[in-house]
Amino acid sequence: MMQESGTETKSNGSAIQNGASGGNHLLECSLREVRSNGETPSVEIGAADLAHLQQQQALQVARQLLLQQQQQQQVSGLKSPKRNDKQPALQVPVSVAMMTPQVITPQQMQQILQQQVLTPQQLQVLLQQQQALMLQQQQLQEFYKKQQEQLQLQLLQQQHAGKQPKEQQQVATQQLAFQQQLLQMQQLQQQHLLSLQRQGLLTIQPGQPTLPLQPLAQGMIPTELQQLWKEVTSSHTAEEAASNNHSSLDLSTTCVSSSAPSKTSLIINPHASTNGQLSVHTPKRESLSHEEHSHSHPLYGHGVCKWPGCEAVCEDFQSFLKHLNSEHALDDRSTAQCRVQMQVVQQLELQLAKDKERLQAMMTHLHVKSTEPKATPQPLNLVSSVTLSKTASEASPQSLPHTPTTPTAPITPVTQGPSVITTTSMHNVGPIRRRYSDKYNVPISSADIAQNQEFYKNAEVRPPFTYASLIRQAILESPEKQLTLNEIYNWFTRMFAYFRRNAATWKGAIRTNLSLHKCFIRVEDEFGSFWTVDDEEFKRGRHIQRGRPRKYCPDENFGELVAHNPSLIKNIQTSHTYCTPLNAALQASMAENSIPLYTTASMGNPTLGNLANAMREELNGAMEHTNSNGSDSSPGRSPMQAMHPVHVKEEPLDPDENEGPLSLVTTANHSPDFDHDRDYEDEPVNEDIE
DNA sequence: TGTCCTCTAAACACGC
DNA sequence: CGCGTGTTTAGAGGAC
């Protein structure tokens, strides 16, 4: 209940704190760097160095501004990070992102991912589009750098020529206009990103790229900007004091240090105030502002300004425009926000690229033919292409096709499309329970997890599966269909980034689930214990009844079958498909008889081999789906381990469990303890007969 | 509203 | 004693 949300809140807080402190650290580094660079201002600095320096400086400005904002918010009590956590999801990611300008920690990524109303597919689309944007932006920046180089050369030449100060001013103005153009584009890109993020389901349609992106991108292609630049630069002829003014001219260096903003804002802001949207200097600006005249402005929705962290109420579109021009004009803060957002996007892109690479490597390693189109990454939609692991088809064949039985089941049917993570599962981080299936314990197929394997591996998003489902999956994915508790832990941490923290919580939950669910069978040998799963029982989804003491009756043998066998198979649950516990029991028996652990079909010991075969026949088709690899009964553990006695988790014997094919075994196993158990019997008889 | 399921936390036991 | 493991219970919330 509250505990879960509590942990989330805690983690949010820590993420923010980490981010903030990281930002501080980076700020210090950046300051040092800037300082060292700034103390040796020189026209000899290369364009690349300048660009780098500009980036550093801009980042530093962003951090500084954001830190200031944070401080202000905290002082005013309007928006503490804590409160941010509880605010509607729309604002949180941006806020978080704004507070962590440089590096997005996994926690922050988690926040973003969790609180966005985005499915992984939408995230993919978003990232794709942002990638395209960033590509263009990179081109633009390269172009800009080149122009700056040219400008620098020009300035140097003109310096020698000794031009008039008035012309210098004009050059500065013109260049500033261009820089503002660049910034404007960045802002619009950010707006686009935000609109994508915020509108989530409503606007992001994979096959429908009708987003502001296109006109925006097309409106600002480098060639046109080059033309723009020509227009801007054609008039100016002179410049002096280039080295002095360069930083102030440059957008990204408008605030070199904490003392700079006032000075630089004097330079920049006049434009912003007189022409907040900068539509005068360039005809191209018209095309940009044209978009803003559309009432479907990405920064405006539901009467609220959607600028990151703003949420100002604007009664109509005109007032919104007014607000936009006044409050979000080209100034240091907006610039910083843009750059921060750029960092966010870049980080996401990096992450995506890495994950794609990993996925490719994994699939290659698994010899899976990926039908996933390389150019259009939709790694989350592997339904049709992934037969990912052999466990997908072997471990839980009955789970495909599965049919989620509740609308809240996060797993969507295959027919509905690739989305596996629904808005709810993505959004509700708190007390909302994520169930694979509420009414029936429909097993997860490996494909279910595989669809979003990469996603869950890297995003700290809580998987929409119950612990029981995940434990079962972990066990079934193991080669021997059995895992120790620690191996189960490892599987969880390996497969889900979410389970890489709060270990005490989820580990306890795993143990509880293992104990509580009848489907999990504990098998013990001399070296410890491991867990297997009874799939049929899993589908029944029954718990061991509360208040019903689980009797420990160690060292009871159970009839002829194990008369020669000191191993302790307390209770093999009746099931049609639980080859695994059966195999475990057989392994135990074989181990006790020093029988080499071959497949059950090729066992050397005639008695046990026949028994096993008889059991297989008895179990009939239920075993078929697992006998494709006879290795199921191969030694699950090391031969040495397998040679030792095995102890199967004892289970209170349900009356109905005596009616299965293995009733002989279980009744043979009958001990006084079981009779005692029957005192608790209150379950309907025959309910399990299928 | 009641029941069931799930999750979380906690207490306790046991063995190493 | 600490730790890992396993069991059990209580309580809360969600779904039906």
Query: Does residue A9 contact residue A107 with C-beta atoms inside 8 Å?
Result: no
> Looking at residue A525, what is its pLDDT?
72
Q: In which region does residue A335 sit, left (phi positive, over 0), alpha (psi from -120 to 50) or beta (all else)?
A: alpha
Residue A508 approaches strand B within 7 Å at CB: yes
Considering A162-176, A240-254, A481-495, A524-538, the range whose residues carry the highest mean pLDDT is A481-495
Residue A508 approaches strand C within 7 Å at CB: yes
> Looking at residue A488, what is its pLDDT?
92
Quick one: which residue's CA is nearest to C12's C1'? A1
C1’ B13 / CA A6, Å: 30
CA separation for the pair A250, A524 (Å, rounded): 70
Sign of the alpha-carbon torsion through A88, A93, A95, A99: positive
Assess whether pLDDT exceeds 80 at residue A1: no
> Looking at residue A148, what is its pLDDT?
59
What does the DSSP assignment read for A607-651? HHHHHHHHHHHHHTHHHHTTTTSGGGGS-SS-HHHHTS-EEEPP-
Residues 524-553 of A with CB under 7 A from strand B: 541-543
pLDDT tens, position by position, A337-386: 777 677 767 777 887 888 777 777 766 666 544 333 333 333 333 222 22
Nearest nucleotide by C1' from A502 CA? B8
pLDDT band at A537; cut points 50, 70, 90:
confident
Q: By C-alpha distance, which of A511, A431, A588 is closest to A5?
A: A431
What are the percentages of helix, strand and coil residues in chain A, rounded to 5? 60, 5, 35
> Looking at residue A554, what is its pLDDT?
30
Residue A35 approaches strand C within 7 Å at CB: no
- Mark the nucleotides of strand B covered by protein, meaning any atom under 7 Å from a CB: 5-11
Considering A19-33, A64-78, A581-595, the range whose residues carry the highest mean pLDDT is A64-78
Among the listed ranges A1-10, A165-174, A439-448, A509-518, which one has the minimum average pLDDT value?
A1-10
pLDDT tens, position by position, A170-218: 544 555 555 555 555 555 555 544 444 443 333 333 333 333 333 333 3
Quick one: which residue's CA is nearest to B5's C1'? A438
pLDDT tens, position by position, A287-335: 334 444 445 677 787 777 777 667 777 778 888 888 888 887 777 777 7
Q: By C-alpha distance, which of A514, A424, A518, A528 is closest to A470?
A: A514
Assess whether pLDDT exceeds 70 at residue A222: no
- Mark the nucleotides of strand C covered by protein, meaning any atom under 7 Å from a CB: 4-16
Bridge pairing between strands A646-648 and A520-525: antiparallel
pLDDT tens, position by position, A264-288: 333 333 333 333 333 333 333 333 3
> Looking at residue A147, what is its pLDDT?
58
Q: By C-alpha distance, which of A425, A510, A31 is closest to A258?
A: A31
Give chain A's end-to-end CA distance (angstroms, integer).
36
Q: Which amino acid is at A419?
A: S
**CATH 1.10.10.10 applies to domain A390-516:** yes
* Axis-axis angle for helices A284-293, A317-327 (nearest 10): 130
Query: Does residue A381 contact residue A388 with C-beta atoms inside 8 Å?
Result: no
Q: Which amino acid is at A170?
A: Q
Assess whether pLDDT exceeds 80 at residue A474: yes
The chain-wide mean pLDDT, for chain A, equals 48
Nearest nucleotide by C1' from A408 CA? C15
Residue extents of the structural domains in chain A: 2-347, 390-516, 521-678
Per the listing, tokens 């027919």 go with A415
Assess whether pLDDT exceeds 50 at residue A434: no
